[in-house]
Amino acid sequence: MPLLKPGQPIRTTGNNLVGLWRPSFVKVDHRLFVYGGGGNVTNDLHVLNLCDMRWETIQTVKGTAPCKRYGHTATLWNNCIIVFGGCNEITEYCNDIHIFDLDKLTWFQPEVTGNVPARYLHSAVAYDNKLFVYGGFAKNSDCTYVLDELSVLDLKTFVWSKYHGVPPRYNHSATLIGHKMYIYAGKDEHGDTVSDLFVINLNAPPYTPHLVLSGSQSSASSHMVLLKSQHFCEAVCGKLLVFGRYLAHGNHLLTGSNTQTALNGTTNTTNNPESVYGLWMLDLDTLEWERQECNANFEVGGWNYFTIISEAGCGSEEQSQVTMNNLFFLGNTDPFRPQGYDHFRDALVINAESLGLYDIPPPNFSHEFAQLLNNPELSDFIIVPSNGQELHVHQVILITRWPHFRNIYRSGMIEAQQRRMDIPEPYEIVLAFLKYLYSDRLDENEPWHVVCEVLVVANMYLLNRLKKICCERLFRHHMTVESCGLIFEKAIMAEETGLKMLALDFMFRNYGSVLKSDVLLQMPLAVRQEFMEAVPDEATLEVSRSASSIVPRTLPSPTKCLTASSSSTSHNTIVSNSTTTTTSNNTSITNTTTPSSMLGISTPPHYSSPTSSTSTSSSYHQQHLHHEQQQHNTTSAAPAAANTTAAAAAAAAAARMRHSMSSGVQTNSMSVGV
């Protein structure tokens, strides 16, 4: 059963976690297990079904559950949940180990050799049959203190070992990527919030931490300053994603001593500066932080958990190579905390691909097979594109790599007998497609318009890995004012919601240049209508009286934001009631409400393409493609009629955009009549 699709916050049902805070979370397939928690301290075990968003409390368990606690860790290992540490209901710290068998629904407590300090607000990961526990807050008869040790439990022998000399931390995060554990942020031994990043190689002792980024580096280069130490950190596609509360960088914030403290990598919250929820991404190759434009999703209520939910592809072998990732948040959208407050009542899902995060596995085989393509001497089959130029191929490779061709061959169709197949796409599109089949790669030198058409072909033949390669290529290397319109159109045709959101985001960020170009006029009418549906009815285009007043700003992504923050401007903007945000091209789009088509709730309709690649298919295509619903009717309107329709649509769009624009705005001594 698929996970719920991205959209607006969803109200969970069932036995909600009213009054619970600081529990532990463990993801197992399509379930999220939650154990313990503070407030009314408990040792209940809850589970959230991620398909129907329903909570249940697991009642029929065997064995003896751990005592009530919060601030502990729960770690998945061999289909078991390992619970360690925490603070119990009489504020005593714990150092016991308990294991819950998910298959047998049974608690048991192993006999452990060795002793480690009791603690809470620590971190733990499982790797190579070992439990690695970092830091934490501890106390003895005299005082409380922050642990500067890494404790390792061998899960085969249940023997503890300790390694000292690590930076003291508590309330931090530990994220496992391969054999490396990344320790991020938290509080140090002085109780200051820090934002440094360490990495530890877990393959062999002594498990020495190495500094990756200091707090001052993070703050100075990206203005990323955690206000509160509590945060959530996840890894996906070679990136670290961190969600928490950050200082809001307004003109009145981070001045004087506050600025210096922030740049030193520590945060003192005594003065309680204004803060916002934020999602930041760290590229582990470039070590650069980037804030993700989705803050408006979290403007109301409180958000208290974040993770990545991954869904493996299903169906053919090619489809199963692709992993779909979604960002998953739990919180409460009530603006105030009523009696019986539920910290985890509402769920929010954000498509990771709308952030440009494509989880594409590496090629499966060498690209040397590409040398065999179009070699008449060794080939045994011919592919004929729309222009009639033959391409010589090999049946064994196409049967292995192309499910559609395999079905034609097995069914004994006329193409298989004649060893010849006509394909309605142009030569350059077919050649790029065949190169992928031969090498498991998309040629880096393919022009962007070819990649667009290959995306549609890949969708038609259900080649998901090729689809994602095209999407990532178009987003990272080819998204320009010239190309964004066609990319938006092809994303709709290929049912790629993430790429569609990225194209919308780009067009809104560069709305001035897009509006001045012929991008909108070149779109088919249905595609242009979908674009216009993404623009709020209240949006307004204001023209400044002086070019000197133009100040570029950043536009929150329409694909990730429900509302935009208010900013008063006197230059070119697009305004939505009282909320205004400005693009880097002196325009802005502001959403009060986001259409469902922008959030991927509804399935995009299919549109005809103006290119030759969508001409009428041959009979074998009509009879044997597995994706008949992808067939698109071509538009046959005369050019003059098309231009008239486009001009009328553009005029209507402009009328909508200047909803509240005053007439006779003076620009460079010329009156722009509206």
Average pLDDT over residues 617-629: 36
Decide if pLDDT at 404 tops 70: yes
Q: Which tokens in the block code for residue 402?
A: 């192309």
Distance, CA of 232 to chain centre:
15
Name the pLDDT band for 466 (thresholds 50, 70, 90).
Answer: very high
Nearest to 222 by CA among 296, 292, 288, 294: 288
Q: Quick check: 601 pLDDT over 50?
A: no
Percentage of residues of the chain with pLDDT beyond 70: 72
- Mean pLDDT, rounded, of the chain: 78
pLDDT, mean of residues 204-208: 92
Q: How far is CA 58 from the centre of its chain?
A: 31
What is the sign of the dihedral through the CA atoms of 17, 22, 23 and 27?
Answer: positive
Q: How far apart are CA 147 and CA 135, in angstroms?
A: 5
CA dist 583 to 143, 250, 474, 486, 558, Å? 53, 18, 21, 21, 12
Q: Mean pLDDT throughout 358-385?
A: 86
Q: Give the residue from 213, 216, 217 showing the smallest Cα distance to 184.
A: 213
Rounded Cα distance, 226 and 648, in Å: 50
Structure confidence by residue, pLDDT tens digits, 279-312: 999 999 999 999 988 877 888 888 999 999 998 7
Position 597 scores a pLDDT of 35
pLDDT at residue 497 tops 70? yes
- pTM summary value: 0.76
CA dist., res. 58 & res. 44, Å (int): 8
What are the chain's domains? Answer: 10-355 (2.120.10.80), 362-522+608-636 (3.30.710.10), 535-594+637-674 (no CATH)
Q: How confident is the model at residue 650 (pLDDT cuts 50, 70, 90)?
A: very low
Query: Taking 60 as the threshold, does the pLDDT of residue 68 lie above it?
Result: yes
Q: What is the pLDDT of residue 306?
A: 96
Pick from 602, 606, 630: which is nearest to 617 by CA? 630
CB atoms within 10 A of CB 412: 9
For position 218, what pLDDT does the model report?
Answer: 61
Looking at residue 633, its pLDDT comes to 37
Nearest to 268 by CA among 256, 282, 277: 256
Q: What is the pLDDT of residue 145?
A: 95
Q: What is the pLDDT of residue 542?
A: 66
Task: Determine how many CB atoms are found less than 10 A away from the CB of residue 498.
Answer: 25
The segment with the largest mean pLDDT, out of 273-277, 621-625, 653-657, is 273-277
Structure tokens at 246: 């950050």
Mean pLDDT check: name the lowest of 57-66, 496-505, 654-663: 654-663
Task: Please state the rounded mean pLDDT for residues 500-513.
Answer: 92
Q: Where in 95-192 does DSSP place strands (E)?
A: 97-101, 106-108, 123-127, 130-134, 137-139, 144-146, 149-154, 159-164, 173-177, 180-187
3-class secondary structure for 58-105?
CCCCECCCCCCEECCEEEEECCEEEEECCEECCCCEECCEEEEECCCC
